[in-house]
Structure 1
Amino acid sequence: MNIRTVLAWAAAIALTAALAMTYTAGYAQKQRVASIANVKGTVSVKQSGQKDWAPAAVRMELKEGDELKTDAGSTAIIRMDDGTMVKVGPLATMKMDKLDKTGAASKTNIDMGSGKTWSRVNKLNEQSDFSIKTPTAVAGVRGTFFSSEVAQTSDSTFDVFEGAVAVSSSANPDQAVMVGARQRSTVAPNQNPSAPSAIPANEYDAGRSGFSEEEFAAATYDLQISVSPQVVEPGKNATVNVQLFRNSSPFKGEVNVKLNLSGSATFVSNGSPEISATTDSNGALSLEITSTSTETVTVSAQLTIKVKK
């Protein structure tokens, strides 16, 4: 199956996120799975229990114990099943330390070895928690937007852009400080967290833009397109199927999509390689195509989704 997806968010921002979640039925504790929503540059993944690293790719699943690393100038966005997202910056290493769910309680813990992450955590219930662990500190939240950075000295710095984060030292986890919006705390090795202080205005803007509203919105959506049969024969029809997802579930609503076909293929309804069509109320769309020659047809798509900031 050939799939090529090109998306645009309002001002032509690429939407290249995906999430495929699976659950193990019949157990009180469920094996949760995260997914890589976006990859830029060179990003590698090592599965739990394996020795070798493999190139990361969009829609690749991450399970408990899996590790991820980024090269210089490279980033990745990881999406959890509740819509929480973590952007991993360049030259970073991390491990999915805990991903489980028992009843309504979900536990997510990410172990950061180096580099910087930005976490946009959806509001969690009282039984659930999300935490970032570094070599010197632990940051726990239930719904917020913050960054965490591990310096070469192993100092860990937490900048909070929205909500609040409880920061504690790995050496003294019972002594936590609450870091509020527009505040920062740093934890040096074997030291308690510094008292929260205001993030300088220029650093606040630069830090927040590390995982922008537009980038977050883009990673929320995934447009999947397939052509069946894969090879179109002259005079015969094939079907282009389009499905828009939001946080791994079919999007509820109608969306206008512009589709373009490769080669000599055209849409049956208008005889053109281009068409503008509207999905049904579940974000799905099917269109017939044909071709004058035997070819493998590739489809590109563009859509606009208006997201409230």
Structure 2
Amino acid sequence: MAYVFNMRHRWRRKLAQGSVSIIAVMSVSFATQALPVRVDRGLAVRQIQGEVTILRPRSTAPARSGDRLSEVGDGLRTGSRSAAVLDVDTDVGFLQVSERTELRIRTLENAADGGRITHLNVSRGQVRTQLRRFTHEGSEFEIETPAGISGVRGTEFGVSVQEDGKTGIATLSGAVETSAVGTSVPVPEGYQNLIWPGEPPTAPVPLRDDPGLEYDRTVSFENNTRVVTLRGRVDPVNTVFVDGAPQLVDRQGEFRLTRLATARLRVEVVVITPLGRQEVHEIYLL
């Protein structure tokens, strides 16, 4: 079942010679009624680092600064050690997209009261969102993951989506409402929670934003082969990669991997929080 994170937030022609009376009427009209201001809807690529790809419904291309995502189905994907910053509309706010992340536009509409409705899908990875407070009641910003929904009105929060769809949410400022399987749970400023696929959101706990890692290792024999096992422990809301491969993190924040025991065996463990804070841990297993 899909889960979503909703948010509500920041970031001429010439007249030919003709009737003088027509020009006069137009002058009065301009004086008494403001011209509508055109607002570009969508996401614009502000910065890129490393391998970043623009996704279209029927094509892909390397991303460049200034590229726009303005249609349903448009999206962006970041590779290993890559990142991007996207502007939301012209003045609503921005998104910081971490490595190994994929997002697409689900909905891009205007509300009846002039508000802006933006729904995104983040299928994997980590996104940090900073939006100004919306001035229209009809404005919406929503992020859907393989697990639930969150809604806000101007806030700074982060979402991390693990390989199994488990989603961590952290609210730095403002408030987020997470929803899944018919249950809504608010995540106020300074708190975080989790959504497991097929389950309601967990109760919020104080925000940690901690990419730290605890671990132990053991050496054993399996089928007459010497192997070493690494057991790691992180905050359960975090995403973990070992030598670039995503790891499944259980409810206690633990993950495990086994390697053949060879001399100078080393692994690189990358831990990323929902707010995008990242640490690289180099571990020698032998």
| Shorter-normalised TM range | 0.5 to 0.7
Query: Aligned Cα RMSD in Å?
Result: 2.7
Could you tell me which residue of structure 2 aligns to residue 162 of structure 1? 173
Instruction: Verify the 8 A CA contact 1:43 1:56 in the aligned structure 2.
Output: yes
SS in 1 for 2:276: helix
| Amino acid paired to 2:67 | M
Instruction: Verify the 8 A CA contact 2:126 2:274 in the aligned structure 1.
Output: no
Could you tell me which residue of structure 1 aligns to residue 146 of structure 2? 135
| Amino acid paired to 1:139 | S
Could you tell me which residue of structure 2 aligns to residue 210 of structure 1? 276
Could you tell me which residue of structure 2 aligns to residue 77 of structure 1? 85
Cα deviations by residue, 1:137-196 (Å, 9 ceiling, x for unpaired): 111111110100111121011011111100011x32xx2111011211100011000000
Instruction: Verify the 8 A CA contact 2:158 2:275 in the aligned structure 1.
Output: no
Which ranges of 4 or more aligned residues in structure 1 deviate by more than 6 Å?
none
Cα deviations by residue, 1:245-280 (Å, 9 ceiling, x for unpaired): xxxxxxxxxxxxxxxxxxxxxxxxxxxxxxxxxxxx
How many Å separate the matches in 1 of 2:201 and 2:141? 19
| TM alignment of 1:104-143, pairs within 5 A | 104-125=114-135, 126-143=137-154
Instruction: Verify the 8 A CA contact 1:161 1:208 in the aligned structure 2.
Output: no
Instruction: Verify the 8 A CA contact 1:77 1:86 in the aligned structure 2.
Output: yes
Aligned partner of 2:203 among 177, 183, 195: 195
Shift in Å, 1:122: 1.1
Change (3 A) 1:154 1:208: closer
| TM alignment of 1:18-97, pairs within 5 A | 32-47=41-56, 49-50=57-58, 52-65=59-72, 66-81=74-89, 82-97=91-106
Shift in Å, 1:130: 0.7
Could you tell me which residue of structure 1 aligns to residue 14 of structure 2? none
SS in 2 for 1:142: coil
How many Å separate the matches in 2 of 1:201 and 1:137? 21
How many Å separate the matches in 1 of 2:118 and 2:275? 24
Structure 1: runs of 5 or more not aligned: 1-18, 20-26, 212-309
Could you tell me which residue of structure 2 aligns to residue 307 of structure 1? none
| TM alignment of 1:233-272, pairs within 5 A | none
Shift in Å, 1:84: 1.4
| Amino acid paired to 1:72 | S
Instruction: Verify the 8 A CA contact 1:30 1:101 in the aligned structure 2.
Output: no
Change (3 A) 1:150 1:163: same
Shift in Å, 1:131: 1.0
How many Å separate the matches in 2 of 1:69 and 1:54? 10
SS in 2 for 1:191: coil
Shift in Å, 1:90: 0.5
Shift in Å, 1:201: 6.2
* Structure with max Cα Rg: 2
Could you tell me which residue of structure 1 aligns to residue 189 of structure 2? 181
Structure 2: runs of 5 or more not aligned: 1-10, 12-35, 212-234, 236-271, 278-286
How many Å separate the matches in 2 of 1:151 and 1:89? 13
How many Å separate the matches in 2 of 1:132 and 1:209? 14
Shift in Å, 1:129: 1.1
Q: What is the count of residue pairs matched by the alignment?
A: 181
Could you tell me which residue of structure 1 aligns to residue 257 of structure 2? none
Instruction: Verify the 8 A CA contact 2:51 2:82 in the aligned structure 1.
Output: yes
| Amino acid paired to 2:122 | M
| Amino acid paired to 1:41 | G
Deviates more, 1:75-84 or 1:180-189: 75-84
How many Å separate the matches in 1 of 2:61 and 2:102? 14
Change (3 A) 1:91 1:202: closer
